[in-house]
């Protein structure tokens, strides 16, 4: 006997996707003070990406994933260039401000029920 799972309505998928995206924005905001949670957030994005396909949250997941990868890139560049007259500290500060902007902008657009892009 095969088990059948009820098909979720598009509205339920949209709500679930929005809830996940809000959770990841919160995780990214917390990551501004300690970097560890941002890895949890991107894992949620990758594991749940198929679930939000075709919903408003899909663009937000893409936004969040790109935020993570650019954050990681510029964090590594900043750390590696600290020894060059403190240039790394400037890079890290700009990177922090950029992530702050991405989290706030993404969250505000999501609350307005608009795509991230």
Copy the structure tokens of residue 92: 């890290």
51 within 8 A of 30, measured Cβ to Cβ? no
Predicted confidence at residue 56, as pLDDT, reads 92
Predicted confidence at residue 1, as pLDDT, reads 47
CA separation for the pair 24, 105 (Å, rounded): 13
Q: Which of 11, 1, 2, 42 is nearest to 113 (CA)?
A: 11
Q: What is the pTM of this model?
A: 0.86
Task: Give the start-to-end residue ranges of the domains of the chain.
Answer: 10-111
Weakly modelled stretches of the chain, pLDDT under 50:
1-2, 5
Helix (H), strand (E) counts: the chain: 4, 0
Predicted confidence at residue 7, as pLDDT, reads 60
């Amino acid at each position: 006997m095969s088990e059948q799972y009820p098909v979720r309505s598009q509205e339920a998928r949209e709500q679930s996707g929005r809830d996940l995206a809000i959770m990841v924005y919160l995780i990214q905001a917390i990551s501004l003070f300690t970097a560890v949670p941002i890895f949890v957030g991107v894992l949620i994005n990758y594991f749940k990406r198929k679930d939000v396909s075709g919903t408003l949250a899909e663009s937000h997941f893409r936004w969040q994933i790109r935020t993570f990868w650019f954050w990681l890139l510029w964090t590594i560049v900043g750390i590696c260039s600290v020894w060059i007259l403190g240039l790394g500290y400037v890079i890290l500060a700009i990177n922090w401000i950029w992530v702050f902007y991405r989290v706030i902008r993404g969250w505000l657009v999501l609350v307005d029920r608009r795509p991230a892009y």
